[in-house]
Structure 1
Amino acid sequence: MDMDLTSLASRVPEPEYMTEEEEICYAAADYSIPHEALAQEVVKVAAGKPRRVVDLGCGPGDVLLRIRRHAPDWDLTGADISPRMLAIARDAQEERLAADTRRIHWLLTNGRNLACADGSFDVVMSNSVLHHVADAVQFWREIRRIAEEGAHVFVRDLRRPPDEATARALVSKHVGGESQVVQAHYLSSLRSSYTCAEVRSQLAAARIGGLEVRELEDRYLTVGGCLSKI
């Protein structure tokens, strides 16, 4: 069968770890528009008091660095499975933040077993990470554990398209100007992404309520709301 006609009704998992080349290219790619939109959304929705924020799979730290500019008194933690990504994030912090700006904590860990106490955070966010996770229910259970009751949740990820032709069109539209490595990784990520229905089932299995799962634009899904433990 022609690859472009292949259905993506089933998820095609990709490795949880990026290669070194993928990490370097991803860190150099321009995601400034969606990252700034997410940072502004988090600060607007969770405004009102200083927050304890964790970004799961923070990568090169761009979203947290953007949040820091808008929320100088928040306690920010970036968690990632990759030492290289955290090294890039630390370097970016030194380059982009003034010396007297409150620093961001960088934590080397994975999303299944975070080195954080129960109820540590009142804002939990994650961007473009869920599709890497093989055991998504455990990922949500860990969010449930580290979040306090009523915590704001902002989880954004790619949404699996219905077929290969749509996936390739999205790659061309959104990262067609990036390197071949980024384009190939983006296509793999679309194939590996979850649907809204699959994510709703994951939340139910993890006994999490209070969150809405909805489609966003032509390629994302977003999970948001105030978490309740059921």
Structure 2
Amino acid sequence: MDNEQIMPRVPEREVMDMEGQAEAYASADLEQPNSAFVGRFLELAESGLPSESPFATVIDLGCGPADIPIRLARKCPHWRFLAVDASASMLRFAQSAIEREQLTDRVRLHLADITETHLATQSADAIISNTLLHHLPDPLPFWNEIKRLRGVATLVFVKDLFRPPNEEVVRALVDQHAAGGPKQFQDDFYNSLLAAFTPEEVRQQLDAVGLGDLKVRIVSDRHLEVCSR
């Protein structure tokens, strides 16, 4: 993908902390993308994470309403999840969902800037993040925090949008994938596509912080993934 032919990036709000934004995101139908994320993560984890160890710790950076940790906790009853987000509004929705699913013993919330979590160094068996990267004005501190939390055998799986070549493609993707959602969700999706990074930009970010061993690939008409396997 030639960056010279790609429209410039338009950064958006880093933290989705407006109550209306948080509610729109928490109530949106994310069944398909979140199920796909969980399925791919479990595929990657199959040969690495200790499936029956009660000490397997998965850190989710930018957990939002914690839908993905909840889905994973249902499927993997021996794992523990630490769900991190900088939005207090979003974590209120997450707490309600965790209590509703009776998972408070295995999904713990942590209010913190995801670029400076203050969690223990090399404390994660796995680090996941879904559609967070494009929110960041500067992605390097995020990658540096992953590098700090990562141990020798830690599974890293980050999935995000990538920036289309022009606004015409952006509007087509919004019509295809968000037309049935709330107006706020459609607007956020549009802005997120404009704010996303290209695969080549992500590769450059990883090289800059010493995470060049992570693989970057396009996996859908709007998503890329970064993983350690």
Q: Which residue of 1 aligns with 2:169?
A: 166
The code of the aligned residue for 2:13 comes to P
Residue correspondences, number: 218
Change (3 A) 1:214 1:44: closer
In structure 2, the residue matched to 1:10 is 8
Contact 1:73 1:102 in 2 (8 A): no
Identity %: 38
Runs of 4+ deviating beyond 3 Å? none
Are 2:120 and 1:121 equivalent residues in the alignment? Answer: no
Of 168, 180, 183 in structure 2, the residue corresponding to residue 180 of structure 1 is 183
State the distance in 1 between where 2:186 and 2:115 align: 28
TM superposition shift of 1:176: 0.5
Which 5+ residue runs of structure 1 have no aligned equivalent?
1-6
Residue 70 of structure 1 deviates from its aligned partner by 0.9
Q: Given residue 171 of structure 2, which amino acid in structure 1 is its aligned partner?
A: R
Alignment-derived partner of residue 28 in structure 1: 27
Could you tell me whether the CA contact under 8 Å between 2:124 and 2:149 is conserved in 1? yes
**Is 1:64 matched up with 2:62?**
no
Runs of at least 5 residues in structure 2 that lack an aligned partner in the other structure: none
- RMSD, matched Cα: 1.5
Measured in 2, the distance between the counterparts of 1:32 and 1:56 equals 19
Name the counterpart of 2:220: 217
Q: Please state whether the residue corresponding to 1:67 is helix, strand or coil.
A: helix
Q: Could you list the per-position Cα deviations for residues 158-200 of structure 1 after superposition, in whole angstroms to 9, with x for gaps in the alignment?
A: 1100000000000000010111111111000000000000000
**Alpha-carbon shift at residue 8 of structure 1 (Å):** 4.9
> 1:210 & 1:152 partners in 2: Cα distance?
12
* Alignment partners' CA distance in 1, 2:147 and 2:154: 9
Q: State yes or no: 1:95 paired with 2:100.
A: yes
Contact 1:43/1:71 (8 A) holds in 2 = no
